[in-house]
Structure 1
Amino acid sequence: MEHAHDDGRPAGTRMPQPRAGAPVTLRYWAGARSATGVDSDALHGCATVADALAEATRLHPGLAPVAAVSSLLLDGRPAGGDTALPPGSVLEVLPPFAGG
C-alpha cells in the first residue's frame, strides 16, 4: 500500500526545489492589486517576508496601508514578517475581503 506525504502528495513524489537566484514572486489580490496596479512583482534579494513587503511598498507606496492589514501566504502557508523567503517562492498578499 502506498502512503502519502504529510501534505497529501503520493509517496514517491518530491516537492520542486527552489532555484538558486530565482526571484520571489509577490502576488497581489483584491485591494492589494488595486493599490499596486499590477497582478504581481518578481523581487530579487529579499531574505524575509518583511524585506519583500518593504521592497513592494517602495515600488508601490499605496500598498503600505493595505499590506498592514493583509494576510500573507508563502507557498500556500501562513507567513509572518520574519519568515525566510527561499528563492523561487511565491508570497501572496491577501487583504481582508468583505462578504455577505
Structure 2
Amino acid sequence: MASSAPEPGTVATRHEPGRDASASVTVRYWAAARAAAGTDSDSQAGDTVGAVVDAAVRSHPDLERVVRVASFLLDGRKVGRDEPVAAGATVEVLPPFAGG
C-alpha cells in the first residue's frame, strides 16, 4: 500500500474546509468604477482576476454594471478574467474612457 506522506524535502499542503485559499489582493477602481465602489481601492480575495472582480461586485453591488464593460490590469499588465493572481498583487478596474 502506497504512503500518502510527502517526499523528503517537500511541503504537504491541502485545502482545509472553511479556510479560504484565495490570495488577498489590492483592487484599484478608476473613474466610473471608483464612483460605483465608493472608494479608490480595497482588498479582495480570489485566485483569478475574475474571482477577485466577482468578490468586489459582492462588496460593491453597483460595480456590476461597470465591470461588464471594464478592462482589467494585473500589476500594470492588461489581462483577462482567467488570469491567476498571487497574494499581494494589484488588480485595476478600468471602465471605458471617453475622449483622448
Task: Give TM-score scaled by structure 2 length.
Answer: 0.74
The aligned counterpart of 2:64 is 64
Distance 1:22 1:68, change over 3 A: closer
Unaligned runs of 5+ in 2: 1-21
Query: Secondary structure of 2:43's partner?
Result: strand
1:14 maps to none
User: Aligned residue for 2:33?
Assistant: 32
Bigger fraction of residues in strand:
2
What percent of counterpart residues are identical? 52
CA positional deviation for 1:43: 1.6
> Which letter does structure 2 place at the counterpart of 1:36?
A
CA distance in 2, matches of 1:93, 1:26: 7
**1:47 corresponds to which residue?**
47
CA contact (8 A) 2:23 2:85 kept: no
Using the TM superposition, give the Cα deviation of residue 22 of structure 1 relative to its aligned residue in structure 2, in angstroms.
Answer: 6.6
- Provide runs of 4+ in structure 1 moved above 4 Å: none
- Write the mapping of 1:78-93 to structure 2, written as runs, cut at 5 A: 78-93=78-93
Q: Which has the higher contact order (CA 8 A, sep 6+)?
A: 1
SS of the residue corresponding to residue 84 of structure 1 reads coil
Larger Rg: 2
Give, as a single letter, the amino acid of the residue that structure 1 aligns with 2:36: A
Write the distance in 2 (CA, Å) between the matches of 1:34 and 1:23: 22
Query: What amino acid maps onto 1:50 in structure 2?
Result: G
